[in-house]
Amino acid sequence: MWPGPSPLCCWMRKHGVSVKDLCWTRASTLGVRTAVIEERYLGGSCPNVACLPSKNLVYAAAVAHTMARYSRPGVGNDGAMKENISVKPLLRAQQHHMDGNAALQLDMAAVRDRKRRMVAGLLDMHKSVFASSGADLILGRGRLVGPHAVQVQLASHIESDGHGEGEAASGSEESQSNKTRMLTADHIILCTGSRANLDLGISGLEAANPLTHIELLDLDSVPRHLVILGGGYIGLEFAQVFRRFGAAVSVMERGSRMLKGEDADVSSALVDILRDEGVAFFPDTHVSRPFELSGSHLLVAGGRLPNTHDVGLQAAGVELTPSGHVKVDAYLRTSIDSVFAVGDCAGSPHFTHAGFDDFRIVRDVLLHKTPLRSTRDRHVPYTLYTDPELAHVGLTEQDAAKAGIEYRLATLPMAAFLRTRTMDATRGFAKALVGVDNDGILGFTALGPRAGELLPVVQLAMSAGLPYTSIAELIVTHPTMNEGLVSLFGSVPPRTT
């Protein structure tokens, strides 16, 4: 049993979790004794094998692409080889004195090592946060055995970015392999995350030893031909990265188009950009149809499944949804009053920032704050880190049409965001949906450089209930990307009533 008083808050974590350590360490600083059970990655998947490592590769790919783009003639403003030159070379490489070869070549092992150094730094940061927080870190696999009890199969170490071992944070509970501990707590928060879906109903897939994003992020050589199953956000992001690294890339998608959750004009525009860089797309690809495509590496990017198996949920009375997620209410309380669930396992949007907001909801419930936060009507933004970025918050046009919501539409080509002209990055556009009976902002999408940085301005106006004119009438620094928002919202059609 837990020595001394039972913790008021016990976090069960598992590989794939998306909520930051900041959550539970903040809980401990509020005077709540907090125990954290970590099975595999200190800090969760985001700093180890997901968000930050992948963005590390995105940056490396952008550097490689920029060097290539500005060191050879005949490159169009979309990065593809064109006969009509619109980007002149800015770099001149000297020929090697031996063989005359001036070509630049990517060092994939160096790319991986750079990523690993970043992850190691993040791990050190999380260790420091734990050590200074007072939260108790217990390494092992947690299993719910009652509404207030968790059994832990202890482990001796945790992993870091899929290739090494990480020690427990200083000040954490000492643990040993092949031993168990029983914890009791007033409240238990499930934070078990999600994993890549490898069950796609494709015969022979398992025998092909496919890669998930975890293995892909740790390659030390560039694939000759990367075949990607899935034309969603993960698939397209990695498609561009590895194409820029020099691999041939083919994306296979069962549906009629890529990024089916986005409006057709948005997904089409991004696919055109990636196709111009050399990525091959194969929509409407079904197992039942005769089709053959050979490649050297296979990435499965077919969605994610919640980590709700083998953690004792159903035996303890925690109900699951038909999709396997933990069933929660708007305050993230499960079917057991003392148990909450946050992040991917609760069916929240699969983003670290959504998981962090989930924590704030549970925190306010436990501290009896009023008014309570909830998952109702919250605006969860997201960004796809392709180049250009795809950023969105609120309703899409297809969302509005499905819900029968009328709207006024404003669109603006990215070339009208004048900062893009200084970066040779004018492809893309932005659009905003505004109510017809009021001036509230319903949704916003941007496909352009640094598009994700545009979201907070729009999101703040939406959350505060401000009219679109609050953005249209801003004085914004010139030339910045946010300056284009003034033009976009200044072009909203007037109300007809």
Annotated binding residue 355:
no
d(CA 136, CA 138): 6
Pairing between β-strand 194-196 and β-strand 304-306 as defined by DSSP bridges: antiparallel
| Chain length of the chain | 497
Residue 133: phi, psi to the nearest 5? -90, -30
Annotated binding residue 236:
yes
Give the SS3 label for residue 136: strand
480: phi > 0 → left, psi -120 to 50 → alpha, else beta; which? beta
Annotated binding residue 233:
yes
Annotated binding residue 331:
no
Annotated binding residue 465:
no
Annotated binding residue 235:
yes
Per-residue tokens: 192 = 């078990």
Annotated binding residue 193:
yes
Separation of first and last alpha carbons in the chain: 67
Residue 71: phi, psi to the nearest 5? -115, 5
65, 157, 379, 478: the active-site residue: 478
Annotated binding residue 440:
no
User: Hey, how many other C-beta atoms are within 10 angstroms of the C-beta on 49?
Assistant: 27
d(CA 324, CA 78): 42
| Separation of CA 328 from chain center | 22
Report in angstroms the alpha-carbon separations of 141 from 9, 192, 321: 17, 10, 23
Q: Is 478 labeled as catalytic in the residue annotation?
A: yes
d(CA 151, CA 231): 40
For residue 62, the number of C-alpha atoms closer than 13 Å in the C-beta half-sphere is 16
d(CA 230, CA 254): 7
Annotated binding residue 171:
no
Give the single-character DSSP code of 253.
-
Annotated binding residue 344:
yes
Annotated binding residue 473:
no
Q: Where are the alpha helices (DSSP H) in 351-490?
A: 352-366, 397-403, 419-422, 455-463, 469-472, 483-490
Annotated binding residue 128:
no
Catalytic residues: 478
Q: Which residues are annotated as a binding site for NAD(+)?
A: 230-237, 253, 303
Q: Which residues are annotated as a binding site for FAD?
A: 55, 142, 192-194, 344
Q: Which residues are annotated as a binding site?
A: 55, 142, 192-194, 230-237, 253, 303, 344
